[in-house]
Each structure stands twice: as C-alpha cells, then as structure tokens.
DNA sequence: TAATCACGTTACCCGCAGGTAACCGGAGGT
DNA sequence: ACCTCCGGTTACCTGCGGGTAACGTGATTA
C-alpha cells in the first residue's frame, strides 16, 4: 500500500482578505440591506418593509454597524415626520457585485428546488 | 380570489434567494473552506493548516454542515493512517464565483488601506 | 513497549446576534 | 383631546457558533 502523505494539489496562495470582507457583510441581515440599497437611497421604513422578518432593533443595529464600517451613509431628512435615508457609500457600491453573485446562486438554488 | 375585508392577509412564504444562499455560506469559516477547495480536493489536515486559526472541532462541524447542505463531498481514502479528502460538489462549484467576488472586494479593501 | 499520526469526538464555557415587547417624541390629522 | 406615523431605544431572554482541552481509534514506526 502506497502511503499518501502529501496531497498532489499544491496549497493555494495564501490570501485572507476573505475575512476582512466577510466582516463587512457578516450577520444575517447586512447583505439584505446592501441588496435593497443597490438602486439608490431608501428610508428606514422602506428597508424594514423590504427585508421581510427583520425587527426594528436589529435593522437599526445593522445599519449602525454598516455606517461605522463606511458601507452605508445615513442622512436625516427634515420632513414631517422626520425621515431618515440610507444610501450605499462608494465602498458599499463595491460590495454590490459580491452580493449580486450570492443572489445569483440563490436563484439557481430555487430553480433547482 | 376572495378579498378579506378586515383581517390582514399573511404574505406568501416567498423564499428569499439571498437568505437561501447565505445560509450555505454563513458562519465564520464556511467561505474559507469553499475558497481553499476551489482548485481541487484537499485533506482535512491541509484545510486545517490552510485556514489559520480554525480549531479541529469547528472545522469538522463546518465540513459536516457543508456536506449535509450538498456543498462539499467527503471521501475517505484507505491509506495509512486513513485520510479524508474533501472536494466541492457541483453546487459548491457554483458558489465559487460568489466567494471570489467577496475575496476581490477584500483585495481592494487591503489596497485602499 | 511506547510514541506518533490523521481525523476526529466530547465536555464545558462564553459572547453576541437576534427575537419579543414595551415605550418615546414631535408633528399632523380628525 | 386623541390617534397615527416614523425612526428609533431599552430591557430581557435564547440559541448557536466558536474557543480550549482532553480523549479515542487504528495503524505505523522507533
């Protein structure tokens, strides 16, 4: 019996920006926020309605974190009642294709049942 | 279609493609596993070394979950000592571009400081 | 005989994301 | 006078992913 001590496949080059980027979209809801902001700014209540099943508390927490991380930009609108608008920053826009790729796979999963 | 006058109609259980796909790559380590399997099968110990900072217990748990979800395929090799090889399934291969997109953003993050 | 290796398992603990529910504050509507 | 709307906040609880450490198995090696 031939010993198989080393794999034939050489280890891929060491890169770990994966963790860096994953920390931006970690959490169950962050990708949804980015996805629903992809076409332009949206208000808190709109995001709340867009993202089914999210609670106000968690949505607030995710938006705050995304704002701290420089992914989204928060803008208060002096209307009555006052509303708040969220939009993707330049960094957030760069995340869009990544989220789109994930959504794309999700669609194929659905089609396949 | 009958219109209900007073009670709120429950929205149809529309499956969110984003949530579906995110459930596959959720967790801190799942994307890393997929990423390091992108070029071919790898052994448990190799993955353990590739993915710095992961413990055996957690790596086992992630691999088991990915196997249950049909993302990776586990194959025991009758060597001495017996080794185990993991590879991406067809579904796992479809996830590759999504992970690659995330890694790509990570690269840009690093470059931008 | 004893140690090592590969691939785990089990026990125990911890932190945090997320869920529910209640509440708030100013302005407009009725 | 009261209710509604919008965008939150706060308190409390729960579950799960993850960390360390110790142990198991079966076969080879010193």
Cα–Cα nearest to A25, from B28, B78, B85: B28
Choose the weakest-confidence range: A16-30, B5-19, B96-110: B5-19
Stretch A24-52: mean pLDDT: 95
Question: In which band, very low, low, confident or very high, does the pLDDT at A8 lie, cut at 50, 70 and 90?
Answer: very low
Torsion angle, alpha carbons of A107, A113, B1, B3, to 10? -70
- pLDDT recorded at residue B2: 42
- Residues of B (60-79) placing their beta carbon closer than 7 angstroms to any atom of strand D are 61-62
Distance of C1' in C10 from CA in B34, Å: 27
Question: In which band, very low, low, confident or very high, does the pLDDT at B7 lie, cut at 50, 70 and 90?
Answer: very low
pLDDT (tens digit per residue) in A92-106: 999 999 999 999 999
Among candidates B20, B22, B91 on the partner chain, residue whose Cβ is nearest the Cβ of A110: B20
Find the helix packing angle between B90-112 and A90-111, rounded to 10°: 180
User: Could you say which nucleotides of strand C lie within 7 A of any protein CB atom?
Assistant: 5-11, 17-22, 25-28
Separation of alpha carbons B40 and B33, rounded Å: 12
A77 CB within 8 Å of a chain B CB:
no
Domain A25-111 indexed as CATH 1.10.10.10: yes
- pLDDT recorded at residue B9: 39
C-beta of residue A108 within 8 angstroms of C-beta of residue B15? no
Stretch B17-46: mean pLDDT: 93
Q: CA B47 from chain center: how many Å?
A: 14
CATH topology of domain B23-112: Arc Repressor Mutant, subunit A (1.10.10)
Ordered by start, the domain boundaries in chain B are: 23-112
DSSP state of A29: S
C-beta of residue A32 within 8 angstroms of C-beta of residue A52? no
């Amino acid at each position: 019996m031939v010993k198989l001590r080393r794999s034939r496949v050489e280890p891929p080059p060491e890169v770990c920006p994966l963790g860096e980027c994953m920390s931006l979209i970690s959490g169950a809801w962050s990708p949804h926020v980015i996805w629903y902001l992809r076409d332009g700014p949206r208000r808190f209540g709109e995001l709340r309605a867009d993202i089914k099943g999210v609670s106000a508390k968690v949505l607030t927490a995710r938006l705050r974190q995304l704002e701290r991380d420089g992914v989204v930009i928060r803008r208060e609108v002096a209307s009555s009642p006052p509303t708040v608008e969220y939009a993707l920053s330049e960094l957030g826009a760069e995340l869009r294709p990544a989220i789109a790729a994930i959504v794309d796979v999700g669609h194929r999963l659905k089609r396949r049942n």
